[in-house]
Amino acid sequence: MQQSPPLATFRYSVRAGQDEAFETWLRDLLALAVTVPGLIGVSRAAQTNTPGATGWEITCRFETESDRDHWVNSTVLAKAHAEAAPLFVSPPLAISDVDDEAARMMVVTSHVTPGREADWHAAQARLNGLVVGFPGFDGLEIFKPSGDSHNWTTVLTFRSKRDLENWKGSKERRRLLSQLEETKHDSVDVGPAAFGTWFVASTTASRPAPEWKQAMVVLAVLYPLVSFYDITLGNAAGQGLAIAGHPIIRGLGLPFPVVVFLGNAVGTVLLSWMLMPAAVRLFDWWLDPAASQAQTIQGALLLIALYVLEVAAFSYVFEAWGF
């Protein structure tokens, strides 16, 4: 696997009225940077203005960490920063990082109801217009639905993981998403989640369900599935099924690791294509990130009661039938 390029990011807070002088200085600095051994890329971005200052961010990509450290600690860079000190509100901030593309990428899937494509395109244009001007934005790609699907996919890339997190938590993004929710726009955020894509089936959520809710639903489905497999197919594949000492099913006698593998294979298929989609639809009202506090409490109590019933039912089966 190819190693991710090391990064050196410099953040500058430029005094009000000094932007033109800073850009002249920056051009000279970048002219020096592109001659540095090991440099493979440079990007620059002007950030949102703050009272009395303008934030700038310069990111340099290098072939090796040694190349990066050589530039960051060079006398040439130190001299350039010292000469430009009167332009800055505060000293430049240097951040060393690694270009982990997956960590700085955000995938957004939108399920668009047939007939509402024009509304979605208009809403998506507003969101895209906001993100392309956001500090740290690096790229945007939109993929059309394939086959009979109605899912549009948007891939956003930022210069660093920190930039991505800033975008995800920004007031601008939350404000626009709240507007989309108010108009019942059916966009689904499919960023990294604990349980993959099971919990992005809802067409009314604009962000993933809370992970603790995801875990509770998975447990409610996984426990009875595993228990039922152990009683039936697990025994049939292993040493057989006997109730109170009387053989019911003659087992295949497969080794225990093989029995476990078969259980995982069967469980994966049932969970992915049957059980979890049904469970997500059943608890969609509770998984919704916009669910009220009363809904959240009701759903949690319902699942706890379901746990108790499941454990009691299988305890009775194991004790009464003598497994």
**Of all residues in the chain, what percent carry a pLDDT higher than 90?**
13
Q: What average pLDDT does the segment 17-41 reach?
A: 89
Higher pLDDT, 102 or 69: 69
How many CB atoms are closer than 10 A to CB 202? 20
Look-up of token digits 């993100």: 131
Taking a C-beta distance cutoff of 8 angstroms, is the pair 18, 104 a contact? no
In a domain, 200, yes or no: no
Q: CA-CA distance, 180 to 176, in Å (whole number)?
A: 6
Furthest C-alpha separation in the chain? 91
Q: Which of 204, 229, 226 is nearest to 280 (CA)?
A: 204
Q: What is the rounded average pLDDT for all residues in the chain?
A: 78
Residues 296 and 315 in one domain: yes
Give the residue from 10, 2, 5 showing the smallest Cα distance to 33. 10
Q: Does some domain include residue 175?
A: yes
SS3 107: strand
pLDDT tens for 180-204 read: 654 444 444 444 444 555 665 443 4
Q: Is residue 34 part of a domain?
A: yes
User: Do 133 and 43 fall into the same domain?
Assistant: no
Give the pair of three-digit tokens for residue 103.
């960590």
Residue 306 is predicted with a pLDDT of: 95
Task: Supply the pLDDT for residue 5.
Answer: 73
Average pLDDT over residues 79-105: 79
Q: Is pLDDT larger for residue 29 or for residue 291? A: 29
**Among the listed ranges 78-87, 93-102, 123-132, 221-230, which one has the minimum average pLDDT value?**
93-102
pLDDT (0 to 100) of residue 64: 87
| Token pair for 109 | 């899937």
Same domain, 67 and 81: yes
Q: HEC string of 12-61?
A: EEEECCCHHHHHHHHHHHHHHHCCCCCEEEEEEEEEEEECCEEEEEEEEE
Q: Are residues 19 and 92 in the same domain?
A: yes
Of 67, 82, 98, which residue constitutes the final position of a domain?
98
The confidence score (pLDDT) of residue 80 equals 93
pLDDT at 79: 93
Examine residue 206 and state whether it is found in any structural domain, yes or no: no
1 in a structural domain: no
Q: Are 113 and 80 in the same domain? A: no
pLDDT in tens, 110-136: 777 788 888 888 888 888 888 888 888
Indicate if the pLDDT at residue 220 is higher than 90. Answer: yes
Q: Are residues 92 and 113 in the same domain?
A: no
The reply to whether the predicted model has a pTM over 0.95 is no
The Cα-based distances of 264 to 101, 132, 277 in angstroms read: 31, 43, 18
Whether residue 290 lies inside any domain: the answer is yes
| Averaged pLDDT for residues 62-72 | 88
Residue 18, domain CATH: 3.30.70.100
Domain, as residue range, for 114 = 102-192
